[in-house]
Amino acid sequence: MSVVDTIKEQIESNDILLYMKGTPRFPQCGFSSRASEAIMSCGARFAFVNILESPEIRAELPKYANWPTFPQLWVKGELIGGCDIIAEMAANGELKELIDTVVVEDDAAE
């Protein structure tokens, strides 16, 4: 499986996915820390990929996403953005709304 295929599978398999440096409990950069905290504050479970442990994904994802930086938040297969966008959406309530919509859809599907 190619790196791009792996990325596509990760995005398709996880309704809420954060590509970040480190992990939500042990972020390895301030931007990843702020992004994961904002998502965690919404109260939903989310998947993450530590790009520091995956140099191939770290190299390919910016080209695939046409987004040069990390973290990257993907929701339902759509790139939402990086730290600044995530923080802005969290501050104005849009992030919780978006994540709550995904959680409601998942609950309805079960």
User: At 41, which CATH number?
Assistant: 3.40.30.10
Positions of E strands within 41-91: 47-50, 72-75, 78-81
Is 21 annotated as a binding-site member?
yes
- The percent of residues in the chain predicted with pLDDT above 70, rounded, is 95
What pTM was computed for the model? 0.94
Counted domains in the chain: 1
Average pLDDT over all residues of the chain:
95
Residue 25 annotated as lining a ligand binding site: no
Has 83 been labeled as part of a binding site?
yes
Tell me if 84 is assigned to a ligand binding site: yes
* Cα gap 76→106, rounded to integer Å: 11
For residue 26, is it within any domain? yes
**H or E element that contains 18:** strand 16-20
Residue 13 lies in a domain: yes
User: Is residue 94 domain-resident?
Assistant: yes
d(CA 74, CA 62): 13
For residue 77, what are the domain limits?
A: 3-105
Q: Given this model, what pLDDT does residue 1 score? A: 87
CB 28 within 8 A of CB 36: no
Counts for the chain of helices (H) and strands (E), in that order? 5, 4
Give the pLDDT confidence score for residue 39 in this predicted structure: 97
110: in domain:
no
